Amino acid sequence: MLERLKKRFKQQKGFTLVELLAVLAILGVILAIAVPSVSGVIGKSKEDADKSNRELMENAARLAHASGVDPEDGAYTLDNLVKEGFLEEKPTNPNTDKDYNGTVEVTNEADDSDVDDYTFEYKPGEDEEEISDDTSGGNDDDDDNNEEDDD
């Protein structure tokens, strides 16, 4: 009896079609779960990198302003910030893989003339895409719902 079992096991040399299909099905389920998750992580990291780059440019303009470098027409160009040494180089936009080419606008929002309250805001250049700070995932359904409530 033992010899028959040994002989039978020696003759099996691979996987059955059912076993292979089961493995493929399991891999398909794993991919169906993993791909959207990874795509979301990549998109979020690009968004975070863009936000960090904008903060970097605004902080460079703050430093330039504090150092006494006057903005041209109320805004610092990135080329000027690089030339003056406040940025090592123009940051690269993670969404387009091109350098940013906008300006950092400086506004004094103080009501009292004795106090300065400057704000620094990055404004994209002409060929840059505008990234919204909307964290709702780009779903504009809220506007539609508000209109229905008014009826």
| pLDDT number for residue 149 | 47
| The pair of three-digit structure tokens given for residue 138, joined into one six-digit string | 């780009």
| pLDDT number for residue 150 | 47
Q: Tell me the residue ranges of DSSP E strands in 20-108.
A: 75-77, 103-108
- Least confident range from 26-40, 42-56, 77-91, 127-141: namely 127-141
Domain annotation covers residue 24: yes
Overall number of domains in the chain: 1
Domain annotation covers residue 10: no
| pLDDT number for residue 82 | 92
Q: Check whether 130 has a pLDDT greater than 70.
A: no
Task: Give the model's confidence band at 4: pLDDT under 50 very low, under 70 low, under 90 confident, else very high.
Answer: confident
Domain annotation covers residue 5: no
This prediction has a pTM of 0.62
Do the Cβ atoms of 99 and 93 come closer than 8 Å?
yes
Q: Average of pLDDT values for 95-124?
A: 82
Q: Which domain holds residue 107?
A: 18-130
Domain annotation covers residue 1: no
| pLDDT number for residue 151 | 44
| pLDDT number for residue 113 | 67
Do the Cβ atoms of 85 and 69 come closer than 8 Å?
no
pLDDT digits (tens, 9 = 90+) for 30-63: 999 988 888 888 889 999 999 999 999 999 999 9
Domain annotation covers residue 75: yes
